[in-house]
Amino acid sequence: MKELLSERGEVETAPRGALHTFALLLAIPLFIGALTTLIQLLAINPYPEMTRGERLDSAEMCLQHADAQEPDCQDFTPVTLPHVTTLERDTTVVGAHYRLTFDRPASDDLQAFVAPRVTDHARIEVNGIRMSPNSEPDGPLWHDWNRPIYGALPEPVLRPGGNRIDITLTQSDIGRLALYPVYVGEADAIRLTWLSRFAFRTGMVRMNIGLAAILGGAFFALWRMNRRGQGLGWLPLAMAGATIFGWQLAYPNMTPPGSWWRFASILSMHGTAYCLYMFLRDFFQERSRLAFIAVHATMAVGLAILLAGQPVAGISATGASFIGVAIAIICILWILITTPLIARADRIALVLLFGLSASCAVTAWLDSFLVRQVVRLPLGQVAVTLLFAGISWTLVQWLVEIKRQRDRLSESLRDQVRAKSAELDEMYRALGRQKEKQVVAQERQRIMLDLHDGIGGQLVNTLAYLENSGRDDPVLRNALEDALGDMALMIDSLHSDLEISAALGMIRNRLEPLLDRHHARFEWKVEGDPRFDVPTRSNVLGMMRIVQEAITNAVKHSGADVITVQTGERDIWITDNGQGFDQDVEADRHPSESGLGLKGMRQRSSDIGISLEIDTSDKGTSVHLFW
Amino acid sequence: MTDRPVEIVSAPVDVVIVEDRRETADRLARAVLQLAQVRTCSIARSVREGLFELSQIKPRAILVDLGLPDGSGVEIIRAAQAADWPCDSLVVTVFADEDRVIEAIAAGATGYILKNDRPEEVGRNLLTVLEGGSPISPQIARYLLNLVPQPEEPKDDGLEIRLTAREKDILRLIAHGFKRQEVADKLNITVGTVGTHINNVYRKLEVGSNTQAVATANRLGLF
C-alpha cells in the first residue's frame, strides 16, 4: 500500500521526536474526551416531555431487603427519576419498589405506558394489575436492561382520577438498580416512542451482531485471498469477538447459564479491541515498539484485574480491566494519525469515525462502571456500528486504491501494447519497403548483369570478329564501341555512390583505351568534391553520359591530343586542344553519327537541371557543365 | 591496372582460355600468344571442357569467362585455386565491374582481363598478375576507401581498416581517376612509393594483393 499511495504524492511524513509523540499521545485522550462531552451536550435531554403523553419523573421508592417479607414497603421516599441504586457486594437489598401516580387523561383514546429504560428486571403493575411479561415471582430473572418496556392500558385497568404504577426492580449480577422516567399517554404516541427507542437501542445492537457475522465472513474470505500481508487475518477474529459480546448485549435472556459466559463476553470486548489494534498495525505497517508493548502490557494488566475481581480505585474489577482496551484505542488513533500511508481526506474521515466510535464506547463504559451517573445517553451500540463503518471504510479505500492502481497499470500496459504494436506495424512496413527496394535493386542488378553477359559479350565478340577478319568498318566499330561504352557507363553508375569525382574516375578508366587508340591523353584536374544539390543515381548517370559524350567527341572528331577534365565546386570543364567545330552544323547532325550529339547533351543537361555551355574555336573546344 | 611496369617472366608458361564466344576467344588467344613467355594457349568453350583442359594441361594461368553455356566459370576458378600446382586464374570480363571481379575473386581469381582491351594490354595484365603484382583501379580504390570507418557512422559489421592520411590521399586520387604517375607527381613522391603505399594498404587487410583483399572482404560478409 505504501507504493500505491506514494505514487499519489500525498504521503505525509509521520511526526518524529519524543515531544511530538508525547503531545500526540496526550492529545488523543483529550480528543476522545472532547468528543464524548460534545455528544453528551448534544443529548441535552434524552427523556423529554411528550405532547400526547405525560412524563412521570417523580416517584416514591423503597428498598426491599432479602430478609424482609413482601410487601415490605412501609416508608416510601420521594425520588426523582432517573433514579439509580448502587448495590454493594455484601448488600441485603434484593429490589427497589417505585410507586408512580398519574391522573386519568380526559381522552377516550387507548392509553399505554412505556418504561424506556430499567435495570435490571422490572415487574410492573398498574392499579395492582400485572402488566409486564416474564415477571412471575418464582420464575428465573428476566433481564430488561437492554430494551424499553411497553404496555397498553385498556379501559378496565384505569380508574377515574388517580392511577398508580408500581414498578419493582430486581437484578442478578449488574450491581445496580435504575429507573428512568416513565411515559403514560395515548397508545399510538407511546408505542411510537417505544418502537423508536427499541430500534435505537436493542435494534441497533442486533443489527451489529448481524453486521459482525457478515463482515466476519467477508473478512475471512478476504484474508484467505490475501494471506501474505496487511494483517487481514485479525479482522475475522475481531468480528468473532464482536459477535460474542454483541450476543450478550442483544439477547441477555438467551445466553448460556453460568458466570463463564459473562466472563467470556467481557473478554471478547478486550479481544476485539486487541485484534483491531493488531490489524491496523499490520495494515498500515506501523512499527512502534512502544505502542506494541503498551497495548500488550495493559491488556495483561486488565486481564489480571478481571481475574482478581478486586475493584481498583473505586471502579469495579470489570470496569478497571478495560485499561487495556483504552490503550489499544489510543494506539489505534495514533496509528491513523501518524501513518504516512493515508491520504489527507481519508485520514480525517477515519480519525473522526474511529474517534467518535471511541467516545461512544467511553459513554457506555462510564454509564456501566461509574457509580455516579454522569452520562445522559450511553451509546455503546453506536460505537460498534461506527467501528464497523471505520473498518469498512479503511478496507474499501484500500480496495479502491488497488483497483485504481490495477486500472492504471492495465491502462499503461494497454498503451504500451498499442505503442509497441504501432512500432511493430511501422517496422513491418519499413521492412516491406526495404524488401521492395532490395528486390528492385536486385532486379535492376540482375537485368544489368544479364545485359552485361549477353549483349556486352556479343558486342565484344562482334568487335573481335571485325578485328580477326581484317574487315574493319570504322562506322560499325564506332557504333559497337559507343554501345559498349554506354553499357559500361550504366554499370558503373550502378555502383556509383553518387560522388562526382569517383564517377569521373570511372569514366577515365573506361575511356583510356579509346584515347590510347587515338594517341591522345588526359590532363586530369579533378579537384575537391563537387556535389549535386540532388545527387540521385539518374542525375549522376546523366552527367556521366554528357561528360563521356564530350570526351568522345573531342577524341574522335576534333583531332585533339590533350583532353583536360577539370572540376570546381559546382563545375565540370572538358576542354581539348583540337580544331573545334561549327556548332550549327554539329547541332543538326543525326545523333547516331556521333553518340548523343550536341542536341542530346543539351537535352540531357536540361533534364537533370544543370547548365551546359559549349565554346568552340579553331584553338579547341570547351564544354562547361555547372549548376 | 595497366600502368605497372612489367618485368619479363623467363620460364615459358602454358595458358588456357575458357570462353564460349569464338571470335572473342580467338582474339584473346592471339593477344596471349604474342607474349614470348607463353608456350601454348588452348581454348575451351564450356565448363566441362575447361575443367578437362585444366587437369590435362596443368596451365600456369587460366583465363575464364563467367557466363558459360553449361554453367558458371566460377567453378573452374575454384578448381584452379584448389590445384596442386601454381595456377593463377583471371576472370575475363567485358566491363571489369565490381560485381564480376568480386564474384571471381571470391572464388579465388587473382586478377582480371578486359575482353575488349587492346591485345598489348591483355598481355600486360596477364604478366602483371603472373608476377604477383598489385594492380588497382578507381573502382577498387573507392571500394577500399569505403572500408575505412566513418567517425559519424561507425560500421558495426566489424570489417574496417585504418589508413594513414597519406594512404587515404592516394586511394582517393586513384578513385578520382588519377594514374599512378599523376598521383606521385601530385604528392611529390615517386611512383615506387605510391606502389609501396598501396602494398601497405593491402597488408593492412592481411593479404598480399588487392584482389585477395577484396576476397577477404567478401568472406567477412561484406557482400
Give per-residue pLDDT as tens, A337-366.
888 888 888 889 999 999 999 999 999 898
Q: Tell me, yes or no, whether B104 and B197 share the same domain.
A: no
Check whether B11 has a pLDDT greater than 90: no
Give the separation between CA A354 and CA A333, rounded to whole angstroms: 7
Chain A contact set for B139 (CB, 8 A): 492, 495, 506, 509
* pLDDT > 80? residue A187: yes
Alpha-carbon distance of A232 to A543, in angstroms, equals: 83
φ, ψ at A624 (rounded to 5°): -120, 115
Domain boundary among B75, B97, B130: B130
Q: Assess whether B51 and B72 both reside in one domain.
A: yes
Residues 6+ apart with CB under 8 A from A375: A40, A363, A366, A367
State whether A31 and A57 are in the same domain. no
Same domain, A216 and A157: no
A209, A147: one domain: no
What's chain A's average pLDDT?
84
pLDDT band, residue B161 (cuts 50/70/90):
low
CATH number for the domain that contains residue A580: 3.30.565.10
- Amino acid A228: pLDDT: 74
B-chain residues near A441 (CB < 8 A): none
Does residue A455 lie within any of the structural domains? no
Chain B residues within 8 Å of chain A (Cβ atoms): 2, 21-24, 26-27, 30, 65-67, 94-95, 97-100, 115-118, 121, 137-139, 141-142, 146, 174-179, 182
For residues A309 and A350, membership in a common domain is answered with: yes
ipTM: 0.74
A495-509, A569-583, B92-106: the lowest-pLDDT one = B92-106
* Inter-chain touch B175–A507, beta carbons under 8 Å: no
Q: Which domain holds residue B151?
A: 138-219
State yes or no: pLDDT of A435 exceeds 80: yes
What domain count does chain B have? Answer: 2
Please, what's the b/e burial string for A415-426 (b: 16 or more CB within 10 A of its CB; e: otherwise)? eeeeeeeeeeee
Give chain A's domain count. 3
> Chain A contacts of B174, Cβ < 8 Å?
505
Residue A411 within a domain: no
Same domain, A570 and A532: yes
Q: Is the pLDDT of residue A90 over 90?
A: no
Asked if residue A545 has pLDDT above 50, the reply is: yes
Q: Does residue A509 register a pLDDT over 80?
A: yes
In three state form, how does the secondary structure of A552-566 look?
A: HHHHHHCCCCEEEEE
Amino acid type, B16: V
Same domain, B107 and B156: no
For chains A and B, count residue pairs whose Cβ atoms are closer than 8 Å: 106
In this prediction, residue A239 carries a pLDDT of: 93
Residue A488 domain flag: no
B49 within a domain of the structure (yes/no): yes
pLDDT tens for each residue of A456-484: 888 888 888 888 888 878 888 888 888 88
Looking at the structure, tell me whether residues B125 and B144 fall in a common domain: no
Q: Assess if residue B6 is contained within a domain.
A: no
Query: Does residue A265 belong to any structural domain of this protein?
Result: yes
Query: What confidence category does residue A373 fall into, taking pLDDT thresholds of 50, 70 and 90?
Result: confident
A152: pLDDT strictly greater than 50: yes
Domain co-membership, A35 together with A81: no
Q: Which residue has the higher pLDDT, A375 or A14?
A: A375
Mutation target to probe the B interface, by most B beta carbons within 10 A, among A452, A460, A562 is A460
In the predicted model, is pLDDT for residue A450 greater than 80? no
Instruction: Answer yes or no: is pLDDT of B160 > 60.
Output: no
The answer on A341 and A231 residing in a single domain is yes
Nearest by CB to A505, which of B98, B115, B138?
Answer: B138
Q: What is the CATH number of the domain that holds B73?
A: 3.40.50.2300
B120/B203 same-domain check: no
Q: What is the pLDDT of residue A609?
A: 86
Query: Can you tell me the distance from the alpha carbon of A472 to that of A466, in angstroms, rounded to the nearest whole number?
Result: 5
Are the beta carbons of A461 and B22 separated by less than 8 Å?
Answer: yes
Per-residue model confidence (pLDDT) at position B9: 52
- Where does chain B show beta strands of DSSP type E? 13-18, 38-44, 61-65, 67-68, 71-72, 88-93, 111-114
Residues in A closer than 8 angstroms to B22, CB to CB, are 461
Which candidate from B99, B176, B179 shows the least CB-CB separation from A449? B99
Least confident of A143-157, A313-327, A557-571, B130-144: B130-144
For B169-219, what is each residue's pLDDT tens digit? Answer: 888 888 888 888 888 998 999 888 887 887 677 666 544 334 444 454 444
A491 vs B2: CB contact, 8 Å cut-off? Answer: no
Per the structure block, which three cell numbers stand in for A437? Answer: 527496394
Say if B109 falls within a structural domain: yes
The answer, for A519 touching chain B at a CB cutoff of 8 Å, is no
Residues B148 and B124 in one domain: no
Residues B48 and B147 in one domain: no
- CATH number reported for the structural domain that contains residue B215 in this entry: 1.10.10.10
Q: What is the pLDDT of residue B7?
A: 44
Closest to B94 measured CA to CA, from B66, B72, B74: B66
Q: Are residues B97 and A501, on separate chains, in Cβ contact within 8 Å?
A: no
Whether B75 and B101 share a structural domain: yes
**How much of chain B, in percent, has pLDDT values that exceed 70?**
70
Task: Indicate which CATH number applies to the domain containing A154.
Answer: 2.60.120.260
Which of A366, A400, A434 terminates a domain? The answer is: A400
Residue B8 belongs to some domain of the structure: no
* B26 and B121 housed in the same domain: yes
| DSSP three-state, residue B220 | coil
Q: Tell me what percent of the residues of chain A surpass a pLDDT of 70.
A: 93
Q: Rounded mean pLDDT of chain B?
A: 76
C-alpha to C-alpha distance for A327 and A311, rounded to whole angstroms = 19
Last residue of a domain, one of A400, A427, A458: A400
Residue of B nearest to A565 (CA): B177
- Among residues B97, B130, B163, the one where a domain terminates is B130
How many Å lie between the alpha carbon of B46 and the closest alpha carbon of chain A?
15
Highest mean pLDDT among A49-63, A69-83, A582-596, B195-209: A49-63
pLDDT of residue B213: 46
- The domain boundary, picked from A400, A425, A456, lies at A400
C-alpha cell at B29: 588467344
- In eight-state DSSP terms, residue A253 is G
Instruction: Verify that A78 and A158 share a domain, yes or no.
Output: yes
| Domain assignment of residue A372, yes or no | yes
A492·B175 Cβ contact <8 A: no
Domain with A40 in it: 2-44+202-400
What phi, psi does B75 have (nearest 5°)? -60, -40
B147 and B111 in a common domain: no
Please check whether residues A58 and A169 belong to one and the same domain: yes
Check whether residue B121 and residue B163 sit in a common domain.
no
- Half-sphere exposure for A473 (CA within 13 Å, toward CB): 8
A110 plus A9 within the same structural domain: no
- Would you tell me which residues 557-596 of chain A have a C-beta closer than 8 angstroms to some C-beta of chain B? 565
Residue A591 has pLDDT above 60, yes or no: no
Considering the domain architecture, whether residues A285 and A269 belong to the same structural domain is answered as yes
* Cβ contact, residue pair A452, B98, below 8 Å: no
> Are both B124 and B144 inside the same structural domain?
no
DSSP conformational letter for A315? B
Q: What does the pLDDT look like over A208-254, one tens digit per residue?
A: 999 999 999 999 998 888 877 678 899 999 999 999 999 988 888 88
Q: Are A324 and A272 in contact (CB under 8 A)?
A: no
- A230 plus A294 within the same structural domain: yes
Question: What pLDDT shows up at residue A560?
Answer: 87
> CB neighbours (10 Å) of residue A581?
20
